[in-house]
């Protein structure tokens, strides 16, 4: 097992990782920017080191500073959390070259996961269901128009290295393709440095369901079930849930099998997520792989009892998958609410500033992953996530009732948060019936 870890992140996930390390008896080293000098992760770690100024590019994204911090403090491993350098193959190689074990998949696996059109091709060739599409990148408008004609409109243009909806365009006609193809390509180039785009048949209002993979270095791959992630606004997830409501046991089991097969087809190592779109009739399609621990991992932990962060660390240290050959049982229902420092009454504008007072919910079935404290100043430089409220109930209706109770108890003073918006979602009849899809927020709330 490792002796000392460098936690290359901030906020709630840095705190979450440090907690796991304390339980495993691993010493932790936190890194922080000058804006995070008084942040909880820097305080609870055994040691902490300033790695630069407030700008992410000069601190949490600065690979050289972070590796220097790890070397100076004699860390034998590094956990990247999510965001920042978590899915950067170049960074993984730098860690390896310096004798630091990167807790995540190897660089070549991250490279494949990061190139969505390449990952899709591998899946298609391995018999994983994918959406009919261009089968590779589309180089020019003439080819794009041919793909559009063959597939039939509507189609969707996607950036091979995309994320967050950037470089993505829905085309309802040949005319749309003529205007959007150049835009998608140049947006992809400017956002990701590479203009590679591909085309798929557009699936109308699908559900977005992802499957958690646990894979050790010896080919033992298991799936710890799924998370329903359709409740999103402009590609920012707001609520996630496990298991997915209104998904038949048969489909769940089938997709699980494909998720394991997908992971095996690229020699996946460590923890990862296989994302699928699921249609109204439960047709399902692989869309992408995320080669990191995800923000919403606690809902899987809540229903399975697995500590996913500890499992990541143990696997990176060369231990065998704790669940190899075992069926993973899921019990009850879990819902996660992302509490963001945003004004949901004002177009979700960022709401940084001082938290003058707060009070957290408690009682049965409640978990809160956060780093806030009284008089904490939410800096404007980073992601707006300030807390995750994770609810567990024996079934979905108990979870929903418990969620309403917990959100009523949750008070944050001094800044605006997404708590009032979560209460509105919980009051929505379609949400309560599990009638949700990726356009639910837009359709029900017009935001």
78 CB-contact burial (10 Å; exposed 0-12 / middle 13-18 / buried 19+) = buried
Q: How far is the CB of 135 from ligand MV4 (least distance, A)?
A: 13
d(CA 38, CA 32): 9
Q: Mapping DSSP to helix (H, G, I), strand (E, B) and coil, where does residue 261 land?
A: helix
Strand, coil or helix: what is 262? helix
CA-to-CA distance for 238 and 445, rounded, in angstroms? 13
Residue nearest ligand MV4 (C-beta atom): 438
Nearer to ligand MV4, 208 or 297 (CB): 208
User: Considering beta carbons, is residue 179 or 375 the nearer one to ligand MV4?
Assistant: 179
- State the Cα–Cα distance between residues 107 and 92, nearest whole angstrom: 6
Instruction: Please identify, using beta-carbon distances, which residue of 165 and 257 lies nearer to ligand MV4.
Output: 165
CB of 229 to ligand MV4, least distance (A): 9
Q: List own/partner pairs for 123-129 with CB under 8 A and 24 or more apart.
A: 123/262, 123/265, 123/286, 126/261, 126/262, 126/265, 127/261, 128/258, 128/261, 128/262, 128/265, 128/286, 129/258, 129/283, 129/284, 129/285, 129/286
Q: How far is the CB of 285 from ligand MV4 (least distance, A)?
A: 7
Structure tokens at 272: 């990862």
- The tokens of 249 are what? 């046991």
- Nearest alpha-carbon partner for 20 in 293, 268, 215: 293
DSSP result, 113-178 = HH-HHHHHHHHHHTT--B-SB-SS---SHHHHHHHHHHH-SSEEEEETT--TTTT-EEESSHHHHH
Which has the closest alpha carbon to 336: 285, 280, 294, 376?
294
**What residues form DSSP beta bridges with 198?**
158
Cβ 344 to ligand MV4 shortest distance, Å? 18
Binding site for ligand MV4 (CB under 6 A): 131, 156, 165, 200-203, 206, 208, 232, 235, 277, 287-288, 438
Does residue 79 contact residue 70 with C-beta atoms inside 8 Å?
Answer: no
Positions annotated as catalytic residues are: 292
């Amino acid at each position: 097992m490792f002796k000392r870890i460098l936690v290359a992140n901030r906020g709630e996930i840095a705190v979450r990782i440090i907690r796991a390390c304390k339980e495993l008896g691993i010493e932790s080293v936190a890194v922080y920017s000058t804006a995070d000098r008084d942040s909880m992760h820097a305080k609870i770690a055994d040691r902490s080191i300033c790695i630069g100024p407030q700008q992410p590019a000069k601190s949490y994204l600065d690979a050289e500073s972070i590796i220097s911090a790890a070397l100076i403090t004699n860390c034998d491993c590094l956990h990247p959390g999510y965001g920042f350098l978590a899915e950067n193959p170049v960074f993984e190689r730098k860690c390896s070259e310096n004798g630091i074990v990167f807790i995540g998949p190897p660089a070549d696996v991250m490279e494949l996961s990061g190139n969505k059109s390449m990952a899709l091709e591998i899946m298609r060739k391995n018999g994983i269901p994918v959406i009919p599409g261009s089968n590779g990148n589309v180089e020019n408008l003439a080819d794009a128009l041919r793909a559009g004609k063959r597939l039939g409109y509507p189609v969707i243009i996607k950036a091979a290295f995309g994320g967050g909806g950037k470089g993505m365009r829905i085309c309802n006609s040949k005319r749309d393709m003529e205007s959007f193809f150049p835009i998608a390509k140049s947006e992809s180039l400017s956002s990701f440095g590479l203009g590679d785009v591909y085309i798929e048949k557009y699936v109308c209002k699908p559900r977005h369901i992802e499957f958690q993979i646990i894979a050790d270095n010896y080919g033992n791959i298991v799936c710890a079930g799924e998370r329903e992630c359709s409740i999103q606004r402009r590609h920012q997830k707001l609520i996630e849930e496990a298991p997915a409501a209104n998904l038949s046991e048969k489909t769940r089991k089938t997709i699980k099998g494909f998720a394991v097969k997908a992971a095996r087809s690229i020699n996946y190592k460590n923890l990862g997520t296989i994302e699928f779109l699921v249609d109204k009739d439960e047709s399902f399609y692989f869309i992408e792989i995320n080669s990191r621990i995800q923000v919403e991992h606690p809902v899987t932990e809540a229903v399975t009892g697995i500590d996913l962060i500890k499992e990541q660390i143990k696997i990176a240290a060369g231990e065998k998958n704790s669940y190899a050959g075992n069926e993973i049982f899921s019990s009850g229902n879990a819902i996660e609410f992302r509490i963001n420092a945003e004004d949901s009454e004002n177009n979700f504008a960022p709401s940084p500033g001082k938290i003058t007072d707060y009070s957290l919910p408690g009682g049965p079935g409640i978990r809160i992953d956060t780093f806030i404290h009284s008089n904490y100043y939410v800096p404007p430089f980073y992601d707006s996530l300030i807390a995750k409220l994770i609810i567990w109930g024996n079934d979905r209706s108990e979870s929903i009732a418990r969620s309403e109770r917990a959100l009523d108890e949750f008070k944050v003073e001094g800044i605006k948060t997404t708590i009032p918006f979560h209460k509105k979602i919980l009051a929505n009849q379609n949400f309560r019936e599990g009638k949700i899809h990726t356009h639910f927020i837009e359709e029900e709330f017009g935001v």
